[in-house]
Amino acid sequence: MRIIHGRIITCEGAVYEDGFISFENGVITKIGDMADLPCSGGECLDVEGSYVLPGFIDPHCHVGVGPEASGAVEYSEVVDPIVPHYCAVDAYYPFDTAIPKALSSGITTVITGPGSTTLIGGQLSAIKLNGEFASSAAVKKSCAMKFALGSAPLKTFKSYGKAPFTRMAAMAMLRQTLHKARHYMECQEKGIDISYDMKCEALIPLLRREIPAHIHANRADDIRAGIHLMNEFNIRCVIVHASQAAIIMDEIKKMGASVIFGPLYFTSRDQESEGMRFELPRLAEAAGVQYAVCTDACPHLSSIQLLLPSAALAVRKGASVEKALQAVTLNAARFSGIDDRVGSLAVGKDADISVFTKHPFDFSAKPSAVFINGRRMI
């Protein structure tokens, strides 16, 4: 299968004004200018100058885990504040009505998972929106570990009369958990007998830097606390939401953390989220902080359809088009370690492709074609 006469934006630098892209068995095999098109037969889609981009990725949402129009919300565990052994794939519902909406916006992969009521909420999963069960649709079942700092877990557990009530308790409990997990891992490595602990097991990939931590934090002090805690344990760190990031952008840069902003199309409901503005991507760009943009889609909060309008409005407030596109493609993939498979158009990557007759940031744009693993979905 090949797509011809596309204005191909690979989202990793190269743009082909009049190009083609070939894929076989779900994988991209060749990209180039039309002038270099190898003459061979086979199925062919002439997109007549349309924009061809990688399928978009929402780097943080609750699609499938908190389905629309349903009471079956699976993202808030409120019994135990530390549940790293939980995994989003176990709650993913492939018939969530948010999924066809995402597809009709050109979104092909979501990072979905637990909410922010728990200090450690469990493992986030990267899932393709091809309508299949997570067992086959997952790009990576465990792609990041979800943490939450600030008022969300405090409010939840205080209302049940359980720790943590305060930020002091939250940090102490997290430190204790990570120390215990590191000890468990070191014992295993040295062959010292230690009884099986499912929570510690789940934290080993994090301590080995195989997956990053995604830390829900809004207030500047919570962002700082999260980054320092992760540095203490040599864990890769991505801050999620980060409404007050503007205050400490230089520090975020210096400490080497990345940020997923969002939901940006949003009315702030408490003081913690007050700084959540479309200016944040521009400020991150100016400070040299790597960023992505998410919708945080879940019932009562934000719609997955707002992913591209959110990136577009970041451009309105001063971000560059190139970085804003990467914020919903390549960076969204990188921050969950799935950029070997998705996030840009490159030979060897999955054939997840969106085709638009107008620039995808145009508010009236709808994809004319969407492919996942080389299969046409729209």
The binding site for another protein (CB under 8 A) comprises 68-70, 97-98, 101, 265-271, 273-274, 297-306, 309, 312-313, 315-316, 361-366
Question: Least separation, in Å, of the C-beta of 266 and another protein?
Answer: 7
Q: How far is the CB of 93 from another protein (least distance, A)?
A: 14
- Residue 328 C-beta: closest distance to another protein, Å: 14
State which residue, 59 or 106, has the beta carbon closest to another protein.
106
Helix (H, G, I), strand (E, B) or coil at 314: helix
Residue number with CB closer to another protein (102 or 330):
102
Nearer Cβ to another protein (218/336):
218
Nearest CB to another protein, comparing residues 118 and 302: 302
Residue 303 CB, shortest distance to another protein, in Å, is: 5
CB nearer to another protein: give 108 or 303: 303
Please return the burial class of 173, using the count of CB atoms within 10 Å of its CB with bins 0-12, 13-18 and 19+. middle
Q: What are phi and psi of 373, to 5 degrees?
A: 50, 35
d(CA 353, CA 330) in angstroms, rounded, equals 13
- CB 106 → another protein: shortest distance, Å? 11
- Per DSSP, the residues of 176-201 read HHHHHHHHHHHHHHHT------HHHH
Helix axes 220-232, 167-190, angle to 10 degrees: 20
Q: Which of helix, strand or coil describes residue 378?
A: coil
CA distance linking residue 265 with residue 252, whole number of Å: 23
